A and B are shown apart, each in its own frame.
Chain A
Amino acid sequence: MIRYVVIIISVLLFYMEPIFGLFSPIELNEDFYVLVPRFLIIYLIFIAIYYDRKRAMLYGLIFGLLYDVFFIDIIGLYSFIFPLMCLVASFIVKFVHHHLLVATILTLLLVAAVEIILFLFYTSIGIKSLTFANFYQYNLIPTMIANGVFILMFGWLFKYILLNRFNQKLLLLQK
């Protein structure tokens, strides 16, 4: 059972994202704030940090492709960004401490990077016209807050599960 728990969680998060997407945008004082759930990439970055970089990139590629085909209809966008973020995360984490707080901050920064890459992509192909100031105020900051809350709630759980799985694998290798 524990063998499959890593992939099961990613499938769950993949399906939870669009459901949380249904609650957005949130209207406050006649302004609409867009909260983008980025649960899957958060989890994948945690996999890259605590478990296995290659596996994280593989999952990133597969789920990114599903994401592209099902929601975006532009193939190659998320299937590139997800593995890239996992790669960057695993690269940075070599130089810093593996503490949960560090992982949380790193993940949040990478989520912001995903948002900014997407902002640049969508404004450059002309699907959306949005100034960076508006994007920053109505999209980026609310998204960061929402995902920050998500990491604070579930980050320790992800770390616990992934480290457990990592140690289990290590034991198997030693035998």
Chain B
Amino acid sequence: MPQFFSNKRLVLLLVGMIFLVALISFSLRDRNHASLPEQLIKDVVGFGQTMFSKPTQYVTGIFNNVESLLNTYDENTRLKARLEDYATLQASVNDLQLENDELRKIIDKEENLRAFNPIQSTVIARNPDQWEEKIIIDKGEIHGVAVNMAVMTSQGLIGKVILTTPYTSTVELLSTQNPNYRVSAVIAGEQEVFGLIEGYDVERKELVLKRIDSEFEVKKGQKVTTSGLGGIFPKGILIGEVTEVTTDDYGLTQLAYVKPAASFSILDHVIISKRTINPVDGTDGGNTEADLTEGAGEES
């Protein structure tokens, strides 16, 4: 025991502790930017990770295929019942789309909040200690991914990009407890009701939609989508469904619990939406109202 705490070791231990605390506080302060060596490490590790996760996904894919093959009969009967509805729905959607395009042409409005370029991406890792809800995907700055872009699956919105390196990016999921995580949302009904997704209720496993004007009536079961007014996300990505409406802590606005449409547990393929209209750093991002278009800062 005395040998363990010899003078030299004690000094070394103390210096180490001080260095450690300094390092932790330094890296905690600015977590949304990766310095050059960090980016390098991330890209190299990310490359190795891709090598490992691609074959695994192939194998899990086979298992999923077998599983869905076993469920084929059930699914088929259910799908057949819905197919007829689907055809009429498709026809009316096409019709409306055409009409929308024509009307846009008439008033000369080309830009659209809904339009976005999808970037297809594969999840290569989930933060294994799972203290934070993060996943790492195999597309980065080179492919056009930027911080704060919306990330979704075919089912709906799952999160946003919080950090990019040239070849990978880190996505923070909607189920995070980060208080600075906001998504500008809209409840689609007969009239559009706006609110902000702020926070996640761990007990209920539902998102909290705050700041809904109390004059509007919000009903259970209504669909919540992104509003496109947060500056970065495109409009119309499904977030979830309202399950309960109450007033907020101060009684001034309404608060709704939203059951997420997408499942956060097993993710493999995700889509990053790069919206075509100029992004602005609004509520979806850091709330600085700065124009995020490439080269916008240089002009002024």
How many residues on A have C-beta within 8 angstroms of the other chain's C-beta atoms?
38
Docked pose: A76 CA to B29 CA in angstroms: 13
The answer to the question of A23 belonging to the interface, with a C-beta cut-off of 8 Å to chain B, is yes
User: Known interface pairs A127-B177, A128-B132. Does A72 touch B24 (Cβ–Cβ under 8 Å)?
Assistant: no
Q: Which of B19-62 contact A (CB under 8 A)?
A: 20, 23-24, 26-28, 31, 34, 38, 41-42, 45-46, 48-49, 51-53, 56
Determine the chain B residues whose CB is within 8 A of the CB of A27 once the complex forms: 265
Give A86 Cβ to nearest chain B Cβ, in Å: 15
Are A80 and B20 in contact (CB-based, < 8 A)? yes
Determine the chain A residues whose CB is within 8 A of the CB of B251 once the complex forms: none
Determine the chain B residues whose CB is within 8 A of the CB of A125 once the complex forms: 28
How many residues on B have C-beta within 8 angstroms of the other chain's C-beta atoms?
42
Of all chain A residues, which has the CB nearest B17? Answer: A80
User: Known interface pairs A24-B130, A25-B130. Does A73 touch B163 (Cβ–Cβ under 8 Å)?
Assistant: yes
The answer to the question of B126 belonging to the interface, with a C-beta cut-off of 8 Å to chain A, is yes
Give B165 Cβ to nearest chain A Cβ, in Å: 10
Are B125 and A128 in contact (CB-based, < 8 A)? no
The answer to the question of A34 belonging to the interface, with a C-beta cut-off of 8 Å to chain B, is yes
Docked pose: A17 CA to B128 CA in angstroms: 6
Are B132 and A127 in contact (CB-based, < 8 A)? yes
Determine the chain A residues whose CB is within 8 A of the CB of B136 once the complex forms: 18, 70-71
Choose one: B51, B134, B177; the contact of A71 (CB below 8 Å): B134
Of all chain B residues, which has the CB nearest A40? Answer: B128
Docked pose: A119 CA to B170 CA in angstroms: 22
Q: Which one of A22, A72, A75, A118 has the greatest number of beta carbons of chain B within 10 Å?
A: A22
Are A122 and B126 in contact (CB-based, < 8 A)? no
Are B130 and A34 in contact (CB-based, < 8 A)? yes
The answer to the question of B205 belonging to the interface, with a C-beta cut-off of 8 Å to chain A, is yes
The answer to the question of A32 belonging to the interface, with a C-beta cut-off of 8 Å to chain B, is yes
Docked pose: A91 CA to B128 CA in angstroms: 28
What are 17 of the A-B contact pairs (CB < 8 Å)? A11-B48, A15-B48, A19-B53, A21-B127, A21-B130, A24-B265, A32-B265, A36-B128, A69-B45, A70-B45, A71-B134, A72-B132, A75-B26, A76-B23, A80-B20, A128-B132, A129-B177
Chain B positions within 8 Å of A, measured between CB atoms, are 4, 20, 23-24, 26-28, 31, 34, 38, 41-42, 45-46, 48-49, 51-53, 56, 123-132, 134, 136, 163, 170, 177-178, 202, 205, 265-268
Instruction: Kindly list the 4 A-B residue pairs having the minimum CB-CB distance in the complex, ordered from nearest.
Output: A18-B125, A76-B23, A21-B128, A21-B126
